């Protein structure tokens, strides 16, 4: 049997949803699978051993200018084992209504975003919540708005949560990233 990319992407998501529905415990963020913004399968295991900052992003939000700071963080630290991971969401104020192509074009044109962007997700608890945010929510925090941030350590554990008003330039966030990068 030959599998097409869309079929593999659907299978990947189905497998993750089925495992979560069956009560499987995901012990690491890096055990999850998803899709890239443009629909290709993405295994978050590719980030195991790195520190990541997971952010629910939106194109039409008062916090959207944070893309600039997120991109700077990503470019400055990617060679040191760090990555920003963007997950578009239309959960708050319908501020991310665009198609994947529109989101990608906006991010590239407006902020020259090079950090990985993934498929649009539902962050809010409920039947349609993304497995990504089901895992992140197990930390005791779910986004109250766009541009909430989760700092993930090298093993895939959530080590900190930052609400929308904590900017990428925040000394508190920067210190936490550097501490996580220095950890064994």
Domains of the chain: 47-182 (3.40.30.10)
The structure tokens listed for 157 are 């554990």
C-alpha to C-alpha distance for 157 and 142, rounded to whole angstroms? 15
Rounded to two decimals, the pTM is 0.87
Task: Answer for the pair 179, 79: CB distance below 8 angstroms, yes or no.
Answer: no
pLDDT for 25 equals 78
Q: How many Å apart are CA 150 and CA 138, to the nearest integer?
A: 12
pLDDT at 184: 86
Give the confidence band of 151 by pLDDT, cuts at 50, 70, 90. Answer: very high
The encoded tokens of residue 153 equal 């350590």
Residue 180: pLDDT over 60: yes
pLDDT at 142 over 90: yes
In the annotation, is 107 catalytic?
Answer: no
Whether the predicted pLDDT of 116 surpasses 60: yes
pLDDT(153) > 60: yes
Q: Which of 61, 70, 77, 160 is catalytic?
A: 61
Joined tokens for residue 112 = 């020259």
Parallel/antiparallel/unpaired status of strands 51-57 and 82-88: parallel
């Amino acid at each position: 049997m030959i599998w097409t990319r869309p079929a593999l992407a659907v299978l990947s998501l189905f497998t993750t949803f089925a495992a979560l529905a069956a009560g499987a415990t995901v012990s690491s963020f890096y055990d999850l699978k998803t899709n890239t913004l443009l629909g290709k399968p993405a295994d978050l295991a590719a980030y195991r051993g790195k520190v990541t900052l997971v952010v629910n992003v939106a194109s039409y939000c008062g916090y959207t200018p944070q893309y600039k700071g997120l991109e700077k963080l990503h470019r400055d630290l990617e060679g040191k084992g760090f990555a920003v991971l963007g997950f578009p969401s239309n959960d708050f104020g319908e501020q991310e209504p665009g198609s994947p192509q529109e989101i990608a074009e906006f991010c590239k044109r407006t902020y020259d975003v090079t950090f990985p962007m993934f498929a649009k997700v539902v962050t809010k608890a409920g039947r349609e919540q993304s497995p990504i945010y089901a895992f992140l929510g197990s930390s005791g925090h779910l986004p109250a708005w766009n541009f909430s941030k989760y700092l993930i350590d090298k093993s895939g554990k959530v080590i900190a949560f930052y609400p929308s008003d904590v900017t990428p330039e925040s000394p508190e966030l920067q210190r936490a990233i550097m501490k996580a990068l220095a950890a064994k």
